[in-house]
Chains A and B, each alone.
Chain A
Amino acid sequence: MLERAITALHTADPGAEEPGATRARLKESFPAGASRRMTQLGMLVGTLLEALGPRPDDTVVYASRFGESRALEAYLESFPAASPTLFQTSIHPSGVQQGLIVRQRATAEVFPVAGSPAQVAQALLAAMLAPAPRALVCGGEERATWLTEHRAASARTFAFALALGSASSDDRLGRVALAPCGDTGALTLEDWFDLLHTRRGFAGAIAPGWRLTLEWS
């Protein structure tokens, strides 16, 4: 069984807030002028991740099913004069890189996990199998416009960031464990976020052969 303590957790559930309002609310969290080119998801993840105090030896795992959907929409609309800035910003894992780059936070390992039915399980596996003393697991989605209408982007904006340390950590908020099992199941990134945001426990299969236990202190 793989087990880690949750030593810090931050979540954001901004509801229907538009990117401009998120920028106005969070711009002071970033170096002067830096938020101008950041996406809504980039600002949310960047703010939550910074609150964990990222260190060079952390492993960072970033999970997003759709990534930078507004930038993707704008980039697609920029053709035939493709925008170089939107091209960079629309590419996975820009959402986590934006905040780390504007603060020059070098990191040994970054595992950006894109969508699959086993996304949450695979993100936690990447974090728990890493040899680093601490893993930061972050992610989220941003609501888009026409991509959302075609189910190619999230209908909801949300973000999370949690720190996973040694299972014996004294300062634990909770406990997360993955154990092999004979069952199969799935847990969406949105459902995972809701568990974190409301600090609800969970026990059950979340991927073929993997059972998640999430407990709060």
Chain B
Amino acid sequence: MPAVATPVRLSAWDCLTPLGDAAATHAALLRGEVALRPTPVLGRAGGDAVPLALLPGRALDETEPPAWHGAVRALLAPVADRPWGTARYPVCVTSSNFGVGSLYAFRHAGAADFVQHGTPHASVAAIARLCGWGENIAVFSHACVSAHLGLMLASRLIAAGAAEEVLVFTYDFLSPFVAGGFHALKILNAQMPAPYAARETGSIGLGDGAAYAVVSRAQGNFAITAQSLHNEMFHFTANQADGAGFAAALAPVAEAARGLRVWLKGHGTGTLEAGRLEAEAMQRAFPAAPLTGWKGSLGHTLGSCGLVELALVLQSLRTGRAPGTVGTVSPTFTDTVATAPFATDGFDGAVCTSNAFGGAHAALFVRHA
């Protein structure tokens, strides 16, 4: 059974990456552009150069107030006409970073002003003030599947008749806190990521990202018709070796898409073991479906990747062309990995997946309404 049986529509959506909004980012990915640049892992404090994708003009070290506030406000401006945060128009905010870059800056630069944006609730409250939202805000943080949780609760609120529309908003902006952490785990290194590529060493990149979607019962040209979650709880940073966790999350969505022609937007960070397990599980669940992923250009936008990349999937469906797995060349883990752009008009819809620390998995199926 798909976790959400009642389809919901997406009446508005967009994303923000270092390559621009959804339309600009999608166009750049089709051209094979890479936003990642070698950047000192600790910002002003230096360190190894690692692949990071930052908004144009933004430094890795946080400012006070955060320099990205203006970009977030501009991103959300097209949907500012609803009374978000009130009883019938709730907001679901998701992130894995929130304002933790401010907390890092407070600890290492010593300026007390940074603390005011350092906790999740303070960071979200600042955005709510910026955008004029009320207090009916749900805040989810589940590492790299966070955005999927926002979409899931929004869908259930709509299905239950508890909301007219729900704004799902996600944001993750990099800082030495998160870059240093992944560098310490040795998966953020000097190499550029090549998702699903069968090579000697795995590596990821990290990127700034934000996105929103307005979830509605009947408005909009695209529908999410199935969503699924699964948490392996096997290991903090490893998956079950047989790929069972990936399969468990994919099964309900595969059932919902049975008989349909689908393409796949995977998680694909560039790590080897998880990438192989994911690609193989996707191929088993959806034989012959092309698999693509865009973290080789945009980097991993962490808790926001599910919605940032969904916006790019929707742009692909809208324009009829999906970018290939930028940064990856053969050999790949499966022969279904698309290394070049492909047409989407021969397909009924797309399956989108994200994975996270703790063996958390999320999947959804989106199609034209």
Contacts and interface: CB of A to CB of B under 8 A. Distances in A.
Contact of A112 (B42, B134, B142, B232): B142
Interface string B151-191: 01100110010100000000000001100111111100000
Nearest to A2: B160
Given A84-B184, A150-B112, A208 B119 contact: no
B359 to A, nearest CB: 8
Interface string B15-48: 0000000000000000000000000001001010
Interface string A80-94: 111110011001111
Contact of B135 (A125, A126, A130, A208): A208
B319 interface: no
B360 interface: yes
Contact of A97 (B96, B137, B162, B358): B358
Contact of B157 (A67, A75, A129): A129
A207 interface: yes
Contact of B177 (A76, A97, A108, A116): A76
Given A118-B136, A207-B135, A92 B181 contact: no
A184 interface: yes
B129 interface: no
A100 B233 contact: yes
A107 B231 contact: yes
7 contacts: A65-B119, A65-B120, A82-B184, A91-B96, A97-B358, A108-B231, A111-B142
B347 interface: no
Interface in B94-125: 96, 98, 103-104, 106-108, 112, 115, 118-122, 124-125
A115 B119 contact: yes
Contact of B107 (A65, A77, A107): A77
B134 A122 contact: no
A136 to B, nearest CB: 13
A117 B135 CA distance: 6
Contacts of B182: 87
Nearest to A184: B135
B45 A80 contact: yes
Given A79-B42, A125-B153, A126-B153, A118 B119 contact: no
B164 to A, nearest CB: 11
A200 interface: no
Given A76-B107, A92-B120, A111-B153, A118 B135 contact: yes
Interface in A58-111: 60, 65-67, 72, 75-77, 79-84, 87-88, 91-94, 97, 100-101, 103-111
Contacts of B358: 97, 101
A208 B236 contact: no
A110 B229 contact: yes
A207 B182 CA distance: 37
Contact of A208 (B136, B143, B162): B136
Contact of A122 (B138, B233, B360): B138
A88 B357 contact: yes
Interface string A157-187: 0000000000000000000000010101010
Contacts of A39: none
Given A65-B121, A87-B185, A125-B153, A116 B231 contact: no
A131 B3 contact: yes
A47 interface: no
A114 B120 contact: yes
B199 interface: no
Given A76-B107, A113-B140, A130-B156, 4 more contacts: A77-B107, A104-B233, A108-B231, A126-B138
Contacts of B234: 101, 104, 106
B366 to A, nearest CB: 20
Contacts of B236: 88, 94, 97, 101
Interface stretch (B49-57, B66-74, B85-93, B325-333): B85-93
B98 A186 contact: no
Given A126-B153, A152-B115, A112 B185 contact: no
A59 B257 CA distance: 24
Contact of B136 (A83, A130, A209): A209
A125 B235 contact: no
B256 interface: no
Nearest to A60: B231
B119 A93 contact: no
B233 A101 contact: yes
A117 B140 CA distance: 13
Nearest to A207: B136
Contact of A106 (B86, B103, B119, B233): B233
B233 A116 contact: no
Nearest to B104: A76
Contacts of B136: 118, 207-210
A125 B163 CA distance: 12
Contacts of B219: none
A103 B107 CA distance: 35
A127 to B, nearest CB: 11
B367 to A, nearest CB: 22
Nearest to B106: A150
